[in-house]
Structure 1
């Protein structure tokens, strides 16, 4: 049973890293698959709510439950503080890292918008000229 609890915590940690990667880079998936923009918008909004409003993160709760049940210390301030702050960037640059992440997300969304506009204009041009693919 302890092994399963530990495994659940490790799975939550792995999903946390995947979630974080998708928050930062997932907007670029919409360049190839435009409908994924809406998925990324929801994920990014949830992540923003966790960081700014303090919404609970169910992955943090699962990982902390696993840590407590297996005798390991719980994450006091959450996933980002526990795994990333002080590792990927110095602690004093937390806000800078947030601005960089926001910039990457904004760039991915701007690219999505630009590609969407090009597709709409190309479709309109084909329609006007009577060319069909």
Structure 2
């Protein structure tokens, strides 16, 4: 029971991380210091997507907890296991990833615009 709960909590934290990757740039418009964490998160996700044989620590914790609880670990990555077919239809990964990229780029452009507007008003 305890390991299953840990696995479920890890999934919830993972979902929160994915949500932060998507909308963190927009949150940084309100709280500018979040932009550093958002950039680091986006870089991490990009490295994972490039297939550099990196293991996400949250996926490792989830697999560990599931295996200790007598369940099989997740067969693929977090997104493929928990989000594909749930958050977006199977086969539309390219669309999902494109929309996420557009959201990230849009939030960073807004942040850049706000930064330059703020710097311009100080002179």
TM-score by length of 1: 0.86
Aligned pair count reads 122
| 1:20 corresponds to | 18
C-alpha distance in 2, partners of 1:86/1:4? 28
Superposed displacement of residue 67, structure 1 = 1.2
Cα shift at 1:40 = 0.5
Gaps of 5+ in 2: none
Query: Are 1:117 and 2:116 matched, yes or no?
Result: yes
Deviations 1:78-125 (A, max 9, x none): 11011110111111111111111011000000000011111111111x
Q: Which residue of 2 aligns with 1:58?
A: 57
Structure 2: how far apart are the matches of 1:120 and 1:55? Answer: 39
The aligned residue for residue 72 of structure 1 is 71
Give TM-score scaled by structure 2 length. 0.92
The alignment yields a C-alpha RMSD, in angstroms, of 1.2
User: 1:1-133 counterparts in 2 under 5 A?
Assistant: 3-53=1-51, 54-124=53-123
Structure 1 position 8, deviation (Å): 1.8
Shift of residue 34, structure 1, vs aligned partner: 1.8
CA displacement at 1:6 relative to structure 2? 2.0
SS in 2 for 1:28: helix
Larger radius of gyration: 1
Listed as ranges, the gaps of 5+ residues in structure 1 are: 125-133
